Structure 1
Amino acid sequence: MNPSNLLQQVAFIKEIDKLKYIQRKTRLFKSDRQENDAEHSWHLAMMTIVLAEHSDKPIDVLKVVKMVLIHDIVEIDAGDTFIYDSTKNHTNTEEELLAAKRIFGLLPKEQAEEFIAVWEEFEAGETDEAKFAKAMDRFEPLLQNTSNNGGTWAEYDVPYQQVYDKKKAIREGSTAIWNYAENLINESLEKGILKK
């Protein structure tokens, strides 16, 4: 055991507590309270464990869990970008990369490199694990919004096509989950929650 590693790891653990203060736009199921990034990440990790059997390809579940727990840590510095924000692109930015290097850089070198690599793999969205992780990341707020009579879709007047286009990334990780999600989106249109 390296005592220096322990000090660095504890510093990182204290730093990521800040994730609990990063508010997302989406609200908890059937609630007016906004979710924070830590709650979101925990929920995605549980969804990954529960829904892994629906992945179209064999996946390393532990790696996906790491991805969903790590993916939003950069928002401690970069802030949360609303997926339907039309003024700021919701993709990997230089700001997020700087945040990843600073925050994960608190860890011992080998761990820092692993966490940055996992974060970059998620952002690239090319591996089977990243596709499933991104499917979970898009699926959870869809479930929340449908439980809240449109939630942020209604609040920010997000049209059907924009929701559909953002959510179809679910299909890349799981056809079964996408079929379920697509049905929810279409039902939301039929009910007037989403507008054409």
Structure 2
Amino acid sequence: MQQVVDFVLEIDKLKHVTRKTKPIGLDRHENSAEHSWQIALFAHALAPHADSPVDISRVVTMLLVHDLGEIDTGDTIVFADIDWEAAKRDELTAIRRILGHLPSETAAPLIALWEEFEANESDDARFANALDRAMPALLNLNNQGQSWRENGISYDRVVRRIEAPIRDGCPGLWHYMSARLAEANEKGWFGA
């Protein structure tokens, strides 16, 4: 029991990880715990639109663990041009430390789901990744491109970073978003 309590108290720190996007209608930035909660519910709502059948329980669990490593590494805006392989290695180290609070028989399947999410090769992982890439863009589309403008993120960079994962994991979502992104570009909601 103590290991589980230690784990749940450790993951409370995810509430302290600030992201670059503001919740709609608020003047503060969202935190990573809010992001994880929102996309977990998004997965339930969007599951009927997945390109292939998905195991929603696995998808939701992936989405709930996928950013836990940010407790140690912090959040990096999805549109950043960085060494993503190095960042993900650091995040895996953090995931192992954080989930290491749990008994190994509980931690191991969660680590495996995190790795599956990162590999992005299963239908479940592709769907989860589509939602993870879509959520910051959806918030930006509903707050006049707030983080795109504040961080100098161009339309081309957004499309380059999110199109393939969203299109591959949920084509209907990409169809919806591509039109909205084009409209946002016409309105000047992107950075230079």
> What is the TM-score of this pair, normalised by structure 2?
0.94
In structure 1, runs of 5+ residues without a counterpart are: 1-5
Q: Does 1:185 align with 2:181?
A: yes
User: Would you identify which runs of 4 or more consecutive aligned residues in structure 1 move more than 3 Å?
Assistant: none
Contact 2:14 2:71 in 1 (8 A): yes
Task: Look up the equivalent residue of 2:107 and give its one-letter code.
Answer: A
Determine the structure 1 residue equivalent to 2:74: 79
- Once the two structures are TM-superposed, the CA of residue 32 in structure 1 deviates from its matched residue by 2.2
Contact 2:20 2:29 in 1 (8 A): yes
Give the total of aligned pairs.
Answer: 190
Contact 1:189 1:195 in 2 (8 A): no
Aligned-partner Cα distance in 2 for 1:23–1:89: 20
- Once the two structures are TM-superposed, the CA of residue 148 in structure 1 deviates from its matched residue by 1.1
Task: Look up the equivalent residue of 2:187 and give its one-letter code.
Answer: K
Determine the structure 2 residue equivalent to 1:176: 172
Aligned-partner Cα distance in 2 for 1:101–1:23: 21
CA deviation string 1:95-123 (max 9, x = no partner): 11110111111100111111110000001
Aligned-partner Cα distance in 2 for 1:89–1:53: 34
Contact 1:27 1:151 in 2 (8 A): yes
Aligned-partner Cα distance in 1 for 2:35–2:97: 22
Aligned-partner Cα distance in 1 for 2:83–2:167: 21
Deviates more, 1:60-69 or 1:151-160: 151-160
Deviates more, 1:163-172 or 1:92-101: 92-101
Determine the structure 2 residue equivalent to 1:43: 38
Determine the structure 2 residue equivalent to 1:3: none
In structure 2, runs of 5+ residues without a counterpart are: none
Determine the structure 1 residue equivalent to 2:113: 118
Determine the structure 1 residue equivalent to 2:83: 89
Determine the structure 2 residue equivalent to 1:155: 150
Contact 1:132 1:174 in 2 (8 A): yes
The root-mean-square deviation of aligned C-alpha atoms, in Å, is: 1.3
Contact 2:129 2:166 in 1 (8 A): yes
CA deviation string 1:106-145 (max 9, x = no partner): 1001111111100000011111011110111111111110
Task: Look up the equivalent residue of 1:12 and give its one-letter code.
Answer: F
Determine the structure 2 residue equivalent to 1:109: 104
More strand by share: 1
- Once the two structures are TM-superposed, the CA of residue 193 in structure 1 deviates from its matched residue by 1.6
Task: Look up the equivalent residue of 1:110 and give its one-letter code.
Answer: E
